[in-house]
Amino acid sequence: MKSLLIKDTTVSERAQIVREALGADGDCEDIDLSDMYDDYIY
């Protein structure tokens, strides 16, 4: 399994990791959960 650490991944790889972890529905009660992961992605 490839490392999920920031130092071992690119921005696009981290965005893909978050999309896969959240599944097709990344929204919860009008809150965009992907915004919560911006610090990890960028």
Domain boundaries, the chain: 6-41
Kindly indicate the confidence band of residue 3, based on its pLDDT and cuts at 50, 70 and 90: very high
With a cut of 90, say whether residue 29 has pLDDT above it. Answer: no
| DSSP codes joined into one string, 19-34 | HHHH-S--EETTEEGG
With a cut of 80, say whether residue 34 has pLDDT above it. Answer: no
**Per-residue pLDDT tens digits for 4-22:** 899 999 999 998 888 888 7
pTM: 0.67
What is d(CA 21, CA 9) in angstroms, rounded to the nearest whole number? 16
Mean pLDDT of the chain: 81
